[in-house]
Structure 1
Amino acid sequence: MARLSIICIGLVLLAINCSSLLNIEGSSKRVLVLLDNLAIRESHSFYFQHLKNRGFELTYRSSDDSTLQIVKYGEYIYDHIILFAPATKEFGGRLDAEVLTEFVDAGGNVLIAASNVIGDAIREFAGECGIEFADDKSAVIDHLNYDINDNGQHTLITASPDNLLASELITGECKKAGLPFLFRGIGMTSDQENPLLFDVLTGSSSSYTANPNEQALTDYPATVGKRTLLISALQARNNARVGFVGSLDFFSNDFFQNSVQTNNDKKSIKSGNEDLALALTDWVFKQRGVLRSRNIHHYMKEDKSTPSFYTIKNDIVFTVQFEEFVHGKWMPFNGTDVQLEFVRIDPFVRTTMKNKGGQLEANFRVPDTYGIYKFVIDYNRVGYTNLFSSTQVSVHPLRHTEYERFITSAYPYYISSFSMMLGAFLLSFIVLYHRDDTPKNKTE
């Protein structure tokens, strides 16, 4: 019985380790979907079905459910949250803007879709992320780029793929496909001084955000031109991701299926909403653009040994393996712009590493300055998670037996020393052995 209990405990620990390993590998796909009403589940069924096909475990809850919670026994029970509840003023249960912020701080990912009416909870959370939505009952209006099915207010606009962020990790191949997007919702602005925010999709130069029911503009519009954000994204410093879409209809079945026909073009083209919505979701939920490093190794170039310390002017090699997480699999990273720094307070060496099928390698000579150094890799690119690696080593000066006997630059000093010795020898020889044979004068 004792052996059986020990075996059971071992199996339990193994299962826990395996589950934690799966979480590290990025395969956690527990998604909480918060809805204003259950009708959204039917009107957006195509989008949710795509997520199920990709292996996500969706849990649908009403946004005002009194039993709503995302933390249980001190652990988060969801990995991602979809907020399709823009009209909710306050969330039910133990969920509010502060809890959502803590969820992001803990590494969770959030996708938010807004509409013409936005509750205070979502506005507060968006403000924490540097996003500000326009006032309620506002909408993005474009009198030059709208769909022919518009009701006359020109709020059913068409967004050009030229206004997409140039990053295939976030937008997929939508920019190459050239398909326009249908959008009916509210505009937003972002903090331009926040380097963590990305303008994924903007309006055209003729778009603006205002109340379409007002016959005349009495105030300056909330957003104007390409400063009108339709879709924005945030990647926090802990690599957590948040997506903001100003239109709940952007994910609807109608916008996925409907064709786009602008007032200027009689051609009917398929909308790119489906492709962009899925690409954005993959990025927000960390199915793309996730990097990791492993197998870090450094050694002497001569004998490929790793000493306890290096000496100045040693030729060394640094290698590391980079991998990218793509749809459930770790693949070799093909980037060629990864740089390595050899740092002692300031970088003494900065070199671009050669990529050989995901194996990155750098060769360089240790500087002629001893001290405590670090191999530092700080890779931060748009769409990728920030990858930071630091390995500390010590660099010693040369021993007394390792210096050169004669230094070329010191030859003048050698010559002056030997010439001085030779001159002293000649002077001593003359003084000691010189004899004056001149006869002396005799006095009479």
Structure 2
Amino acid sequence: MARLVYLGLALLVALQSACASKSVLVLLQNANEASKYSQFIDGIAAAEFVVDVRGYKDSSIKLREYGTWHYDDLVLLAPKAEGFGGGIDQQTILDFVDSGHNVLMAVSSDVSEAMRSLASEFGVDLDDKGTKVYDHFNYATTADGKSDHTLVAAKDLVKIPVMVGGPYKEPVLFRGLAATISASSELATVVLSAPASAYSHDPRKPLLEPPSLLVGGGASLITAVQARNNARMVVAGGVEMFSNDFFDAQVTVGRTKTSTANRAVCLSLARWAFQESGVLVASGLRHHLLGQAEQPWGYRVNDEVEFLVDVVEREGNSTRPYKSDDIQLEFTMLSPYIRLPLQHDNQGTFSLRFKVPDVYGVFKYDIDYSRRGYSYIKLTHQVPVRPFKHNEYERFLTCAYPYYASALSMMAGFFGLGFFYLYHK
């Protein structure tokens, strides 16, 4: 009997773990190419994801059915795909993102218009079809001695460890298409840019003048986008950088023989894209008068109050206290009356003590925190502020003592003069 109970508990735990695992749909140019990206796919699976690998034309794919999404994340390694099987189209993928899910896509110089349009919807403008990134100074020579100036050894990774890990001494091998993002974009981050000596060019056309798109000057090789609903998208200009060949490559850059950082960078970026790193969770918003523990319905002008909130950083299935000095609190009524940084105790609790302004009305606590690589925090909480009641004012004000003295002196003088004229001839 006890053995059956233990078996039932084990089965229940297994079912709960299976339900808790995130599912990832990987669409390849051809289902037979799975072995080409096996290390990348296995790396995702090792992070406790349930991975489903399909060809992009597979008619049995069901991303959504009866209003329910079958997958949590989507990987598109099919740069030439003009359409998808199973009723998946661009609008379905955009709805997938709008519902809070994540997309990682990689293209190549032969990118299709469908993939270009999808990247554009994410705020990433890919260069013209057929163009490639060239670099005549920072190119890699493969182990068989072949030099390829389109095989760029890039080292300009964004310095955000939650996105790409690092730092790395090895370069990231890249071969593919460049992209640009708007300078005013608040949601996109250039994850990998090429050296300043790199440029983009279509080899089928003569290079009669300097290229108009200098990759090192303002384009992106890998772009990460985090939507306002915290959904994440990654657009890589080179699908080969996720392949086994680039993961295991031994190349020579200049006179230095080195391995590549592709494996670590791509897997770290995938974990970030699937919200396994860089996720902030805020909870336990509370406020009270100084010296009291109970949260009141409202405050009186000039009250001394304390505001607290707990913020943790989630890394996979574990959490740790978030430590930062740049989270600000605003006490707002139409416009902020107070804007001050929150202080943290290294245990994940952020707090601030302040005096309520001498203005009554409906105020709100407002935290709007955004930091590159981390999910956004948006918290609001309304609280009314009232004026003094008629019986709460001080009866005697220190600053009014001169006026009290003048009134008393006038009364004393009046009675003195009256007494003098009434009782003296």
- Pick which of 47-56 and 234-243 moved more: 47-56
Letter in 2 for 1:309: G
User: 2:228: which partner in 1?
Assistant: 237
Question: Could you say which residue in structure 2 is the equivalent of 1:281?
Answer: 270
Within 5 Å, give how 1:306-385 maps onto structure 2.
Answer: 306-356=295-345, 357-385=347-375
Once the 2 structures are TM-superposed, how far is the Cα of residue 65 of structure 1 from its aligned partner?
Answer: 2.3
Q: Does structure 2 retain, via aligned residues, the 8 Å contact 1:141–1:157?
A: yes
- C-alpha separation between the residues in 1 aligned to 2:135 and 2:290? 63
Structure having the higher Rg: 1
The 1-side partners of 2:309 and 2:148 are apart by 57
| Match status 1:127 vs 2:120 | yes
Q: 2:54 aligns with which of 57, 61, 75?
A: 61
1:79 is the counterpart of 2:75? no
1:311, 1:396 within 8 Å by CA — same for their partners in 2?
yes
Residue in structure 2 matching 1:109, options 78, 95, 102: 102
Partner of 1:251: 242
TM-score (norm: length of structure 1)? 0.87
The 5 Å alignment of 1:132-281 reads 132-149=125-142, 154-160=149-155, 163-173=156-166, 176-217=167-208, 220-262=211-253, 264=254, 266-281=255-270
Distance, in Å, in 2 between the alignment partners of 1:234 and 1:380 is 13
Question: Of residues 387, 407, 410 in structure 2, which corresponds to 1:420?
Answer: 410
The answer to whether the Cα contact below 8 Å between 1:109 and 1:241 also exists between their aligned partners in 2 is yes
Query: Residue 155 of structure 1 aligns to which amino acid in structure 2?
Result: T
Structure 1 contact 296–320 (Cα < 8 Å) conserved = yes
1:275 Cα offset (Å) = 0.9
Is the 1:299–1:306 Cα contact (8 Å) retained in structure 2?
yes
Gap regions ≥5 residues in structure 2: 1-11
Partner Cα separation in structure 2 for residue 270 and residue 153 of structure 1: 16
Following superposition, the deviation at residue 219 of structure 1 comes to: 7.7
Aligned-pair CA distance for 1:144: 0.9
Matches of 1:219 and 1:132 in 2, distance apart? Answer: 21
* CA contact 1:183–1:247 (8 Å) conserved in 2: yes
Q: Give the counterpart letter for 1:271 in structure 2.
A: T
Structure 1 residues 261 and 151: alpha-carbon distance in aligned structure 2, compared to 1, 3 A threshold = closer
Matching of residues 295-310 of structure 1 within 5 Å: 295-310=284-299
2:165, 2:220 → 1: CA distance? 19
Tell me the CA shift for residue 56 of structure 1: 1.0
Q: CA deviation at 1:434?
A: 3.8
1:260 counterpart letter in structure 2:
V
* Contact 1:209–1:228 (CA under 8 A) maintained in structure 2: no
| Deviation sequence 1:182-214 (CA, Å, 0-9, x none) | 111111111222110101111111111111344
Task: Could you tell me which runs of 5 or more consecutive residues in structure 1 were left unpaired when the two chains were aligned.
Answer: 1-14, 436-444
One-letter amino acid of the structure 2 residue matched with residue 296 of structure 1? L
1:349 offset after TM fit, Å?
2.1
**Aligned-partner Cα distance in 1 for 2:384–2:21:** 40
What letter corresponds to residue 239 of structure 2 in structure 1?
Answer: L
Amino acid at match of 1:120: E
CA distances 1:128-181 after superposition (whole Å, capped 9, x unpaired): 111111112211000111012385551011102xx21121111211xx222211
Identity rate, percent: 36
Cα distance in structure 2, aligned partners of 1:343 and 1:193:
27
Rate the CA distance shift 1:22–1:354 in 2: closer, same or farther, 3 A: farther
1:185 partner letter:
G
Q: Would the alpha carbon gap of residues 152 and 70 (structure 1) be closer, same or farther in structure 2, given more than 3 Å must change?
A: same
How many angstroms does 1:333 deviate by?
1.7
Aligned to 2:6: none
Q: Distance in 1 between matches of 2:208 and 2:80?
A: 25
2:63 matched to which residue of 1? 70
Q: Secondary structure at the match of 1:101?
A: helix
Q: Which residue of 2 aligns with 1:9?
A: none
Cα distance, 1:92 vs structure 2? 2.3
CA distance in 2, matches of 1:47, 1:307: 53
SS at match of 1:156: strand
Aligned pair in 2 of structure 1 residues 224, 278: CA closer, same or farther (>3 Å)?
closer
* Residue range with higher mean Cα deviation, 151-160 or 179-188: 151-160
1:377 touches 1:387 (CA, 8 Å); kept in 2?
Answer: yes
- 271, 285, 292: which is aligned to 2:281? 292
SS at match of 1:34: strand
Distance 1:351 1:219 in 2: 50
Distance 1:404 1:330 in 2: 50
My pick for the range that moved more, 226-235 or 408-417, is 408-417
CA distance in 2, matches of 1:374, 1:382: 26
Task: Provide, for residues 288-335 of structure 1, a one-character-per-residue CA deviation record: whole Å limited to 9, x for no partner.
Answer: 111112222222222323223222222222222111110222222222
RMSD: 2.2
SS of corresponding position for 2:141:
coil
**How big is the shift at 1:28?**
4.8
- 8 A Cα contact 1:283 1:289, kept in partner: yes
1:49 aligns with 2:42: yes
- Describe the superposition over 1:378-418 as per-residue Cα deviations: whole angstroms up to 9, x where unpaired: 22111111111112222222222222222122223222222
For the 8 Å contact 2:164–2:269, the answer to whether it is kept is yes
The alignment of Structure 1 onto Structure 2 pairs a total of residues equal to: 409
Alpha-carbon offset, residue 74 of structure 1: 0.7
Deviation at 1:344, TM superposition (A): 1.9
Q: Would the aligned equivalents of 1:302 and 1:315 in 2 still touch at CA under 8 Å?
A: no
Distance in 2 (CA, whole Å) between partners of 1:281 and 1:229 is 18
Q: TM-score, normalised by structure 2?
A: 0.90
